[in-house]
Amino acid sequence: MTNSDVPAAEDAVPTAVEEPALIHGVPSSLSRGQLVVHVDRDTYIQVVTALRDDGYRFCSDLTAVDYLLAADRLLPAGVTPERFEVSVALLSMEDGKRIRVRAQVPEANPTLPTLFELFPGTEAMEREVYDMFGVVFEGHPDLTRILMPDDWEGHPLRKDYPVGRIPVQFKEAPGPR
Amino acid sequence: MTDLTADTDEGAQEIKLRSQTSDEVRALEQGAVLRGVSHEDVDVELTDDQTMIINMGPQHPSTHGVLRLMLELDGETVLRCKPVVGYLHTGMEKTGEDLTYLQGPTNVTRMDYASPITNELVFAMAVEQLLELEVPERAQWIRMLMSELQRMASHLLFLATNGMDLGAISMMIYGFRDRESVLAFFEKVTGLRMNHNYVRPGGVAADLPDGWRDDVLAVCDALPPRLDEYDELLTGQPIWRERTQGIGVITTEQALALSASGPILRSTGLPWDLRRSMPYLHYNEVEFDVVVGSYGDVFDRYAIRLNEVRESIRIVRQIVDRMPPGDYRVQDKKVTPPPRARIDESMEALIHHFKIFTEGFKVPEGEVYVAVESPRGEIGCYLVSDGSAKPYRLHIRAPSFVNLQTLPHLMRGGLVADAVAIISSVDPIMGEVDR
């Protein structure tokens, strides 16, 4: 964190592309000192289950990123970048450690198994990701839109979803969508 | 005549009639911990004409904004409950992608409007971690001072609304009065009562004003006797206890499974507070107690917040004693605009100032998740940078949003009147639920 050792900072710049250490058989990396493991759809459940059994019993966050406009991001060797990435932040309360699971989700078939059985608290978070990104969580008990109206078209946080307007009462004619 | 039912229909987000809901689905509805585990807890013998589905909210004073609860009632008893949210959704995470890192705090501060400093803090800390930037000591202590005062203000607001929801109307007036004394200090420091844009990447927007010690100590001196008064008014009062004890009970396992944090988790007896367990800023250098409950009911959550105000006062007093001199923002020209006085005399400073405020500063590619303890629980910021001056993705892990999932579980089998107490004890802020 400190800037005292300036020469060392240069080596530390490409943090995410150092030789990947394997955690539960999948590549890991350090992102600004935070431990990240990279999984794909097939290893997702298995790795998260293993991590939970390692003591990461609290799922603090589950969200997604649409890498449509930043496809050439830093990833360790052996990870195939896909358009969507679901990022799960797990927490081990015993040793106060965090780990992040970044799951690659292909654009063509954006599905991922649900974490609901492992962490029931991900229910609302997965609904939000479905609502905002259109990533379908297989096995989720109630995968409906949560923030947008039920009849909304499109998934607003996708990068190809433009910022636009909808007609509202008591205003001038609506602008371009 | 418009069809109101059709107009307000949320489709699949709504709770369905009992006859249209299978046992499996009903089992899933019974609070997530019980979901998919067993079906025997589902009261199958009831029929539709014995029960009634009613909407509580979105416009209902006890729902703290626009929270809509669909309740299935058997007489006075709540059988099923489903929160329907999204009425305040304004796409703030999408907006965040269009704002530079310097403009970011103006956006996130409006999410949890009852505790804006915490939002700014977590955002600023995420940006700093991406920049690998060390913030000056004084800035860190100012941040601590402000977030503890914020915790007091937020909990006082909770006491006010919780009192009002349960019929202690005088508590509402007292709570708002005391909160205002904290907000008056905020106004002096930041210029605004709420939505300050005070904590910024690299430090804070301005140094503390002259005489801030006296102002802070005046608040710290005025509050404890009043808190004792509230103890007398509410804590020991039989009616209050009847309304809150044993209502909306949750266990540690359930709270953990539901990812609930903050006072809800602590009310079950687990002393999990990020300030203590995973210290940030200088929380490891101040003394305070983590307040826990033992029953996980509405009363515990009330008592925890009341006593956390006392703990915050304790922390604030230590901060006042230990506030170091120095810079209130980092002297890194990359992220910090030049001082106002330099702009008048130096063309370079003017250009620098202009560029920082129009283009912003670039943040190296990467992604981080940073979490701090907000008055409502763990507030996290997941920030992805693609190397430009604007976040590629900004996600706020809102504690209220996650904590709301405990509602179906807390409500089950309770009375409608208790539902009001339970919503209040979860203390949701809809601005951050819907973002």
Distance (Å, whole) CA B53 – CA B78 = 10
The answer to whether position A102 is within a domain reads yes
Residues listed for chain A: 177
B272 burial (CB, 10 Å; 0-12 / 13-18 / 19+) is: buried
Average pLDDT in chain B: 85
B158-167: b (≥16 Cβ within 10 Å) or e: bbbbbbbbbe
Distance (Å, whole) CA A14 – CA A31 = 9
B27–A contact, CB cutoff 8 A: no
CB B28 within 8 A of CB B35: yes
Residue B289 confidence (pLDDT) above 50: yes
* Contact yes or no for B382 and A147 at CB 8 A: no
**A-B C-beta contacts closer than 8 Å:** 132
Distance (Å, whole) CA B194 – CA B179 = 12
* Contact yes or no for A58 and B260 at CB 8 A: no
CA distances from B132 to B97, B168, B368 (A): 21, 49, 11
3-state secondary structure at position A119: coil
Q: What is the pLDDT of residue A15?
A: 47
Residue B39 confidence (pLDDT) above 70: no
Exposure of A112 in the CB half-sphere (CA atoms within 13 A): 34
CB B383 within 8 A of CB A87: no
Q: Which residues of A touch B12 (CB under 8 A)?
A: 144-145, 150
A121–B contact, CB cutoff 8 A: yes
CA distance A151 to chain B (A): 8
Lookup: tokens for B367:
């992604």
Residue A38 confidence (pLDDT) above 70: yes
Q: Which residues of B touch A63 (CB under 8 A)?
A: 382, 395, 397
Eight-class DSSP state of A35: E
Q: How many Cβ atoms sit within 10 Å of the Cβ of residue A159? A: 16
Distance (Å, whole) CA B263 – CA B297 = 11
Q: What is the mean pLDDT of residues B371-377?
A: 91
Residue B36 confidence (pLDDT) above 50: no
End-to-end Cα, chain B, rounded Å: 33
3-state secondary structure at position B73: strand
A61-120 pLDDT, tens digit each: 999 999 888 878 888 777 888 889 999 999 998 888 899 999 999 888 899 998 888 888
Q: What is the mean pLDDT of residues B239-263?
A: 87
Q: What is the pLDDT of residue B379?
A: 92
Q: What is the pLDDT of residue B312?
A: 92
Q: How many Cβ atoms sit within 10 Å of the Cβ of residue A153? A: 6
CB B179 within 8 A of CB B153: yes
Lookup: tokens for A114:
């649900």
| Domain ranges across chain B | 1-87+398-435, 92-330+364-397
- Report the residue from B91, B367, B401 with minimal CB separation from A156: B91
* Contact yes or no for B85 and A146 at CB 8 A: yes
- Report the residue from B364, B380, B402 with minimal CB separation from A121: B402
Angle of helix B212-230 versus helix B169-190 axis, rounded to 10: 170
Q: How many Cβ atoms sit within 10 Å of the Cβ of residue B237? A: 13
Q: pLDDT over 70 for what percent of chain B?
A: 91
B182-219 pLDDT, tens digit each: 999 999 999 888 888 899 888 898 889 998 999 999 99
A89-98 pLDDT, tens digit each: 999 988 888 9
* Contact yes or no for B130 and A157 at CB 8 A: no
What CATH number did the domain enclosing A58 receive? 3.30.460.80
How many Å separate Cα A177 from the centre of its chain? 28
The answer to whether position A17 is within a domain reads yes
More confident residue, B104 or B34: B104
Lookup: tokens for B425:
């004890």
Distance (Å, whole) CA B262 – CA B378 = 6
* Contact yes or no for A144 and B11 at CB 8 A: yes
Distance (Å, whole) CA B200 – CA B329 = 9
Q: What is the mean pLDDT of residues B283-287?
A: 90
Distant-in-sequence contacts of A122-125, Cβ < 8 A, 24+ apart: A122/A59, A122/A62, A122/A88, A122/B259, A123/B32, A123/B35, A123/B405, A124/B401, A124/B402, A124/B404, A124/B405, A125/A61, A125/A62, A125/A63, A125/B259, A125/B402
Q: What is the pLDDT of residue B38?
A: 40
Q: What is the mean pLDDT of residues B302-330?
A: 91
3-state secondary structure at position A6: helix
Q: Which residues of A touch B132 (CB under 8 A)?
A: 1, 9, 32
Q: Number of structural domains, chain A?
A: 1
CA distances from B4 to B7, B13, B152 (A): 5, 17, 42
Angle of helix B137-165 versus helix B212-230 axis, rounded to 10: 30
Distant-in-sequence contacts of A123-126, Cβ < 8 A, 24+ apart: A123/B32, A123/B35, A123/B405, A124/B401, A124/B402, A124/B404, A124/B405, A125/A61, A125/A62, A125/A63, A125/B259, A125/B402, A126/A62
The answer to whether position A71 is within a domain reads yes
- Closest to A36 measured CA to CA, from A68, A94, A79: A79
CB B117 within 8 A of CB B199: yes
Distant-in-sequence contacts of B254-258, Cβ < 8 A, 24+ apart: B254/B31, B254/B33, B254/B406, B254/B409, B255/B296, B255/B406, B256/A57, B256/A58, B257/A119, B257/A120, B257/A121, B257/B32, B257/B33, B258/A120, B258/A121, B258/B31, B258/B32, B258/B33, B258/B402, B258/B405, B258/B406, B258/B409
The answer to whether position A158 is within a domain reads no
* Contact yes or no for B366 and A59 at CB 8 A: no
Phi, psi of B29 (to 5 degrees): -75, -15
B-proximal residues of A, 61-90, CB under 8 Å: 61, 63, 65-66, 69-70, 73-74, 87, 89
Q: Which residues of B touch A141 (CB under 8 A)?
A: 25, 28, 35-36
Give the range of the structural domain holding residue A32, as residue numbers without chain letter.
12-138
Q: Which residues of B touch A147 (CB under 8 A)?
A: 85-86, 89, 434-435
Q: Which class does domain B92-330+364-397 fall in?
A: mainly alpha
Eight-class DSSP state of A158: S
Residue A2 confidence (pLDDT) above 70: no
Q: What is the mean pLDDT of residues A8-15?
A: 44
Lookup: tokens for B306:
């009341």
